[in-house]
Amino acid sequence: MHQGLCILDAEQRFIFINKYALDHNGRSKSDFIGFTLADLQAKGYFKNPVATRVFDTFQPTSAVQQSISTDGKIQNFLVHAYPIFNANGKLTYVIADRVAVTEFNEEYNQVKSLLSSSQGSYYVAPPKNGKQEMIYADPLMEQLVCNALKIADLQSSVLLLGESGTGKDVMAHFIHDHSHTYNKNFVAINCASMPESLLESELFGYEKGAFTGAKTTGKIGLIESADKGTLFLDEINSMPLSLQAKLLRVLESRTITRIGSVKPIDVDFRLIAATNESLEACVARKTFRADLYYRLNVIPMTIPPLRERRKDIRPQIDYFLDKYCSKYGYQKQLSNELYKKLERAEWPGNTRELRNFVERLVIMTDSSTVKIKDIPWRVDNTASSHSSVIHGHDISDDEELDEETRIKRALKRNKGHRQNTADDLGISRRTLQYKLKKYHLL
C-alpha cells in the first residue's frame, strides 16, 4: 500500500510532499511547495483538508478527504494528520499521510479476516474535540458507522431510530464530529424533558418582555444557537403537534422568529432527530405530522438493540470497566465465566444499562477478578433489572433446560442467525450445525 506524505509549517504552508502524495492528481511538487492549504483549496486541489482540523484543534485527526486531479477526477483518500510541537509547546509542523480508500479497503479486508478469529477484537471510532467514542465490534454496527461517515458531510436531515439506551445521542455526536462543521455548535435537546410552553421558548427564543417571567434581555433559542452547526432533537416523537408545525416551517423557510417578535432570522443548520418509537405508527395515531415525518426521514438510520449485536457487549464491558476503574482507582477484571453470562444476557436497557451495570460492579464488588458469585444484586434493596441480567431466564434458567430447548431459545433470540446463535451458546458453528441436525431443527 503506497502512502502519501506531506509536511506543513506553522503557517499551513507545504514544505515537503513525497511522490506517492502526487499520484493520481497529475501535479508536481512545485504545485504544492510554498503554498498554503487555503491557497490550494481555493485552486480546487482538494475539499475540506483534514490538516485544517489539526491547526484548529491541535489534536491528531483522521478522516476521508477528497482529492481532485487536473482532469477533474475525484478520489477519496484516508488521511491521518497529527501536530508536532516544539519544546515550548508551540505548534511548528503538521504531518499528514494518506492512502487511497480503495487500497486501504483491500488491506482492511485482509486484516479484518484475520481479526475475525480473534476473541475480543473491536474498533474504537475516535472522538473529536473531547466528544464520545463509538465502541463496536459487531458487523451490524460496523456497517452503521461506515454509513455515518459516508453521510457526515452532507446537510441532509438524519433520523435515528432505536430503543432507549442504544446510543442514538452518541451516533448524533459522531456524525457531527466527522462533518466539516465539527468545530461549530452541536445543540441538543430532549423533546420529552419539558412542557410545551417551555420547549417552545427553548427552541425559538424570545424577545424581552415576551411573557411573564421572561428575561429582560431576551434569549437566543437553541435553533438559532445551532446556526452553521448541528441541531439534535432527541425523542422527537414527544414533540407537541403545534411545535411540529413550527419546526416544519423552519425547515422549509430556513428562518426562525423569536417569541414576541415578527422579524425572521436566517438559520442554517443540519438537523438530526431521534425517536424510540416508530414515527409511522405515530403518524397513524395522528400524534405526529406526516409532512414533518417525510421531511425528517431523508436518511433513516436504525441502531439495533444490544441483544441483536452481541459482539459489541464484551468490547463495551471492557471500555466501561477501564473507564470506571480509572475513575474510582480500582484494578478489576471479569472472569471468563462472567463474560459469557453477560454476553448472553438480554440487556433491555441496552448500552445505558450495561454502562450502569459495569459502574456498579466496579464499586460494589471486592474481588480483583469478579465472578458471578461476587455479584450481590440479589440482596440489594434497590429496584434494579441487573439481578435479572445475571440470574434471569436468559442465563441461569437456560442452563437448567435440556439442550434442544436451549438451542431453540437461542435461535429465537438471534432470529435464526447461525453464527450469532453459536456465539450465544458458546459453541462453534460446526457444532451447532451438528446439533441442529441431531434435533431435526434445520
More confident: 341 or 125: 341
DSSP secondary-structure letter at 184?
S
Q: Are strands 91-100 and 255-257 parallel, antiparallel or unpaired?
A: unpaired
Per the CB < 8 A criterion, the answer to whether 26 and 70 are in contact is yes
Which amino acid is present at 251?
A: L
How many Å is the maximal CA-CA distance in the chain?
Answer: 77
| Burial class (CB within 10 angstroms; exposed 0-12, middle 13-18, buried 19+) of 148 | buried
On the question of pLDDT at 35 being above 90, the answer is yes
Strand stretches in 191-342, DSSP E: 205-206, 219-220, 230-234, 255-257, 264-266, 270-275, 299-302, 333-334
Please tell me which residue, 403 or 352, carries the higher pLDDT value.
352
C-alpha cell at 434: 451438528
Q: Mean pLDDT across the chain, nearest whole number?
A: 82
Residue located via cell numbers 477519496: 76
Structure confidence at residue 8 as a pLDDT band (50, 70, 90): very high
Per-residue pLDDT tens for 149-188? 888 888 899 999 999 899 999 999 999 988 888 889 999 9
The reported pLDDT for the residue numbered 108 is 44
| Low-confidence winner among 210-224, 286-300, 394-408 (lowest mean pLDDT) | 394-408
- In order of 39, 59, 349, the CA distances from 35 in angstroms are 6, 23, 53
- Cα(247)–Cα(265) distance, rounded to whole angstroms? 14
Q: What is the DSSP letter of 259?
A: B
What is the reported pLDDT for 234?
94
How many CB atoms neighbour CB 99 within 10 A?
Answer: 18
What's this model's pTM, rounded to 2 decimal places? 0.61
Per-residue confidence (pLDDT) for residue 67, from 0 to 100: 82
Phi, psi (rounded to 5 degrees) for 257: -125, 120
Banded pLDDT at 97 (limits 50, 70, 90): confident
> Residues with Cβ < 8 Å from 397, sequence gap 6 or more?
none
Its sign, for the CA torsion 305, 306, 310, 311, is: positive
> Is it the case that residue 379 has pLDDT exceeding 90?
no
Residue type at 114 in one-letter notation: L
Least Cα distance to 64 among 27, 102, 36 occurs for: 102
Query: What pLDDT, on a 0 to 100 scale, did the predictor assign at position 292?
Result: 96
Q: Distance between CA atoms of 352 and 264, rounded to whole angstroms?
A: 40
H or E, element range at 124: strand 123-125
Distance (Å, whole) CA 416 – CA 422? 10
CA gap 428, 426 in Å, rounded: 7
Q: Where are the alpha helices (DSSP H) in 344-385?
A: 350-364
